[in-house]
């Protein structure tokens, strides 16, 4: 089966799942569960999802963090391709959102406020004057409930969280469900579902930092990236979109044909200088709102290839510009600048203040759904 056919099959399976979601079986998380420590007085766990082809994800219900993601290289040798910590203590001390679920609003909301139906909502300004990744104690820093009844055929972990009305300034009681699945065709599928009892805004993603070569020991500049995106949303000095949707043609943000991440990253380009590298939202080429490929990354030495498929309209490509060697992660590796890249599927940053962008409003009676698939192969 081709990678595409496999993905389409997976998508059909994904659509078959409902929000309430679940056939009831007695076990969960094939591969096991072990204690990972205590947060806010609650014990949290590390779950292992493993398939028969050498792929394994370890995920904790603290922040829904993907702690490790093991994928074979071209010689069949397994390797961890995400950054993070060996233990919970690291995540509690400091983290640039390693592997976490990000919400209620992934990326930035300008001036830490937005209006909805004529009412203004004030948020925490945790990134200069702006809100980043949902505020001070957002979805990446809370303990999620594990739906132990959810046990489909493929190794999966279903997490739920109820975000209270007013939490981090956002209106509406929001019920969120995130389902991680390691598929038989070496993909990690992430499905998001949400409902709210009052109008609100919502933008969910996962913030994994990938290095397909060496778990973050060296920079990712030699990885070859393709983005299925002809436009991006230019930013200002605060990394807030200006509202323009600009063609990538003739700019270092043009990844419509595969090129090395490092090939143009130091170009004297206004947008790259503002972000100190790549840290932008690309507008995915699409018709309709189904699952489409947004990105492909190939790493020549390991032979690993990752594709990102999503139902979202945008993707944030971030080159770890703010990593600076001060974080020592798994196996004692000090993560230097550009030791990893993120490909965060999302709605566009600052959409609540930009009526011209696809809407992020969720109304009562609606169910928000979103699917992203990270699929792996070798070449």
Binding residues for ligand BGC, rule: CB under 6 A, are 96-97, 107, 132-133, 239, 279, 316, 318, 322, 344
Question: Shortest CA distance to 230 belongs to which of 114, 314, 106, 355?
Answer: 314
CA angle 53, 59, 85 (to 5 degrees): 105
Q: Which of 207, 223, 280, 347 is the catalytic position?
A: 207
Beta strands per DSSP E along 261-303:
279-283, 292-298
Strand, helix or coil for residue 106: coil
Comparing CB distances to ligand BGC, the nearer of 167 and 350 is 350
Shortest Cβ 341–ligand BGC spacing (Å): 11
Shortest Cβ 21–ligand BGC spacing (Å): 28
Tell me the C-alpha distance between 174 and 191, whole Å. 16
Question: Active-site residue 148, yes or no?
Answer: no
Comparing CB distances to ligand BGC, the nearer of 30 and 320 is 320
Shortest Cβ 133–ligand BGC spacing (Å): 6
Tell me the C-alpha distance between 356 and 208, whole Å. 29
Tokens 């739906």 identify what position? 147
Shortest Cβ 321–ligand BGC spacing (Å): 7
Q: Which residues lie closer than 8 Å to 27 by C-beta, 6 or more apart? A: 151
Comparing CB distances to ligand BGC, the nearer of 140 and 147 is 140
Q: Which of 299, 307, 312, 344 is the catalytic position?
A: 344
Tell me the C-alpha distance between 253 and 88, whole Å. 36
Burial 264-299 (b: 16+ CB within 10 A, else e): bbeeeeebbebbebbbbbbbbebeeeebbbbbbbbb
Tell me the C-alpha distance between 232 and 309, whole Å. 18
Comparing CB distances to ligand BGC, the nearer of 39 and 340 is 340
Comparing CB distances to ligand BGC, the nearer of 58 and 133 is 133
Strand, helix or coil for residue 68: strand
Query: Could you give phi then psi for residue 154, rounded to 5 degrees?
Result: -85, 150
Question: Active-site residue 56, yes or no?
Answer: no
Shortest Cβ 15–ligand BGC spacing (Å): 28
Tokens of 166: 């007013």
Question: Shortest CA distance to 16 belongs to which of 240, 181, 220, 263?
Answer: 181
Comparing CB distances to ligand BGC, the nearer of 107 and 351 is 107
Shortest Cβ 352–ligand BGC spacing (Å): 17
Supply the residues annotated as catalytic: 207, 344
């Amino acid at each position: 089966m081709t990678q595409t056919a496999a993905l389409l099959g997976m998508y059909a399976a994904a659509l078959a799942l409902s929000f309430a979601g679940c056939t009831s079986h007695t076990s969960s998380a094939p591969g096991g569960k072990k204690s990972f420590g205590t947060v806010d007085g609650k014990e949290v766990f590390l779950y292992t999802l493993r398939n028969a082809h050498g792929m394994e994800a370890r995920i904790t219900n603290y922040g829904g963090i993907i702690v490790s993601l093991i994928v074979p290289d071209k010689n069949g040798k397994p390797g961890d391709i995400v950054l993070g910590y060996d233990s919970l203590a690291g995540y509690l001390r400091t983290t640039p959102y390693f592997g976490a679920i990000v919400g209620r609003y992934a990326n930035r909301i300008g001036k830490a406020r937005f209006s909805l139906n004529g009412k203004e909502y004030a948020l925490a300004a945790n990134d200069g004057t702006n809100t980043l990744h949902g505020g001070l104690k957002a979805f990446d820093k809370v303990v999620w409930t594990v739906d132990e009844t959810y046990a489909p055929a493929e190794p999966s972990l279903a997490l739920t969280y109820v975000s209270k009305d007013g939490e981090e300034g956002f209106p509406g009681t929001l019920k969120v469900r995130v389902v991680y699945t390691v598929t038989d065709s070496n993909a990690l599928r992430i499905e998001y579902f949400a409902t709210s009892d009052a109008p609100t805004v919502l933008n969910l993603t996962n913030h994994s930092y990938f290095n397909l070569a060496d778990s973050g020991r060296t920079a990712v500049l030699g990885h070859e990236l393709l983005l299925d995106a002809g436009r991006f949303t230019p930013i200002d000095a605060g990394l807030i979109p200006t509202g323009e949707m600009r063609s990538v043609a003739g700019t270092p943000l043009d990844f419509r044909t595969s090129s090395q991440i490092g090939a143009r990253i130091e170009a004297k380009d206004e947008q790259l200088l503002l972000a100190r590298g790549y840290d932008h939202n690309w507008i995915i080429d699409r018709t309709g709102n189904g699952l489409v490929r947004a990105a492909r990354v190939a790493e020549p030495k390991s032979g690993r290839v990752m594709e990102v498929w999503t139902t979202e309209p945008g993707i944030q490509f971030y080159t770890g510009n703010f990593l600076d060697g001060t974080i020592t992660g798994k196996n004692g590796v000090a993560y230097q600048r550009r030791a990893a890249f993120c490909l965060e599927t999302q709605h566009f940053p600052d959409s609540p203040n930009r009526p011209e962008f696809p809407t992020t409003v969720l109304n009562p009676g609606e169910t928000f759904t979103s699917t992203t698939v990270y699929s792996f192969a070798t070449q």
